[in-house]
Chains A and B, each alone.
Chain A
Amino acid sequence: MSSAARTAPLGRRRTRERVSAFPYLLLTPAVLVTLLIVFLPMAEAVYLSLHDYVVWRPADRTFVWFGNFVAALQDEVFWISFANTLLWIGITIPAQALLGLLTAILLNRDFFWRPVARALIIIPWALPSVVIALMWRWIYDANYGVLNDILFRLGILQSSFPWLADPDTALYAIILTLTWQGFPFFAVMILAGLQSIPRSYYEAAAIDGASTWQQFRNITLPGIAGVLGTAILLRTIWVANSIDVIYVMTGGGPGYATHTLPLYAFIEARSSLNFGYGSALAVIFTLMLTGLVLVYLSRINRTLD
């Protein structure tokens, strides 16, 4: 009797458990694999960052506490890379956003070849970054590059200029490339925002005598503010992280002129094989990004239900 009384509620609980365990069961493969291939390596990165570790000398792996982090803060190249990262984000993102906004406003109008224009404009988005880096190196080429050719014909340049080999222009040349690569993303996102604004708002405003500028300020901008904010956050994180185009275009040079923080971490590991110090740089950079990621997450969190 007593055992029956005990098993009955237990049995009921077990079926209820089976029902509520079902979604976890469905999630298990994906969660398990990402734990293994993302979160485990990240823990390993933190572990590496606390060690003095050069890859081909595994015997020399010594625990150095926060030695790598202290070394980074005293490293001149770290601060150069940090300043470059700020410039890199601070110019690229506004440039992408403005060009994207202009493109989206134009594409939101009715004209007969709009679908073609929209498809063609997003092509830079689809290209491999190696190919992007390659074709812009060719454009900037000091001897045969088309940019020098055009500027020479326009009378702006008297002789050929090595855009990527000059420390004063290299970073800006790459920023133009990144702007070109990223503006289609903004255009597409903002266009979606524009299309969600009811036309009747503009009609009503026009009847009330609002000028084009007033309509833009009071209807368009508030209407796309949400999308624009999300796009800027996402792209800032993405642009900050992106190192492949720089790596192929200049390899961080000339000197340290185009080093950004993640690129410095990558080069430190790849060329110097100094994985301890490289990991420490990567961890510092990740911590810097965390603030942005948290802002983005709090925005997304509202839409999760």
Chain B
Amino acid sequence: MVRRQSALRSLLGTHLPVLAIVAFALGPYIWMALTSLTPQEHLLQAGVALDPLNWTTANYERLVGRTDFPLNMVHSFIVAIGTVVLGLSLSVTAAYAFSRFRFPGRRVLMIKFLVINMFPVVLLILPLFVIMRRLGLIDTHAALIIANATVAIPFSVWMMTSYINSIPRSLDEAAMVDGCSRLGALRKVILPLILPGIIATGIYIFITSWNEYLYALTLGGRNVRTITVAIQTLIGEYQIEWGLLTAGGVLGAMPATLLFLLIQRRLISGLTQGAVKG
């Protein structure tokens, strides 16, 4: 009797509310996916097809076959990888310095990196456009990589610092006693240990660059058209073709979503560590 009561309580108090929140979180995405599988005529006459028998991949075939969508994905990929490489390579040594040394100006410099992420995009986007135009970089991958790096570098410095902080200093010292230089200790001891953290940070940078829209729209758009800009263009060109649009949405969101699920645990522990302490 008591057990049945508690089972009912956990059903009403935990399982159903959690289910409702999961449904709220996933509902719009699932609705988009269902729409993308619905044939155009069905959509106009009977609405979104809930019966798998009516589903079709026609929207996806049209998207891949008749638009530049695959090419847009390549552009997005180049920009995202470029940002990952730039962001990670600059931040490893900086993070090591923040973690292992106490020096005048350390606090100011750390805050400098923190503050960058709080500047409004719109404050940077206008002057970046003017500067890129002056340098002749408008509509190149380099322009988008540089713009994305304004976010990626500071984020990466902070994440790496937190990961290196979690490695005991005695390991560097042991390596140096064994004849390693500082940089040798960083390369041979610290880097392998924080590799999972580096990968998680890199993947997160990849996701944010892949998802980025405003820089891609302003600094690129014609020759270098990333996936987010391409999706937005579909909205303009085919006002009512929701099947095609939602197919673009599903495909465009796929890489970032899968990667996010892959790293969510490690990423969240890195992100929340500082916040819980503070």
Contacts and interface: CB of A to CB of B under 8 A. Distances in A.
Interface string A190-214: 0011001000000000000000000
Q: Is the interface of B mostly helix, strand, loop or mixed?
A: helix
Contacts of A55: 129-130, 133
Interface stretch (B55-63, B107-115, B169-177, B189-197): B107-115
Contact of A42 (B119, B232, B260): B119
A176 to B, nearest CB: 11
B253 interface: yes
Chain A, interface residues (CB within 8 Å), range: 35 or more
Q: Is the interface of A mostly helix, strand, loop or mixed?
A: helix
A41 interface: yes
B69 interface: no
A269 B124 CA distance: 12
B37 to A, nearest CB: 14
Contacts of A37: 128, 146-147, 149-150
Contacts of B242: 138, 141, 144
Contact of A282 (B113, B126, B154): B126
A230 B274 CA distance: 10
Nearest to B104: A20
B101 A23 contact: yes
A21 to B, nearest CB: 9
Contacts of A227: 272, 275-276
Chain B, interface residues (CB within 8 Å), range: 35 or more
Contacts of A180: 24-25, 28
Interface of A: 20, 22-24, 26-27, 29-31, 33-34, 37-38, 40-42, 44-45, 48, 55, 99, 102-103, 106-107, 109, 111, 117, 119-132, 134-139, 141, 144, 146, 149, 180, 184, 188-189, 192-193, 196, 226-227, 230-231, 237, 240-241, 243-244, 247-248, 262-263, 265-266, 269-270, 275, 278-279, 282-283, 285-286, 289, 293, 296-297, 299-304
28 contacts: A20-B103, A22-B182, A30-B93, A30-B113, A34-B150, A37-B149, A38-B116, A38-B150, A45-B123, A55-B133, A107-B18, A123-B257, A123-B260, A126-B211, A130-B252, A134-B231, A134-B245, A138-B246, A139-B28, A144-B44, A146-B31, A180-B28, A189-B272, A226-B275, A247-B214, A282-B120, A289-B120, A303-B274
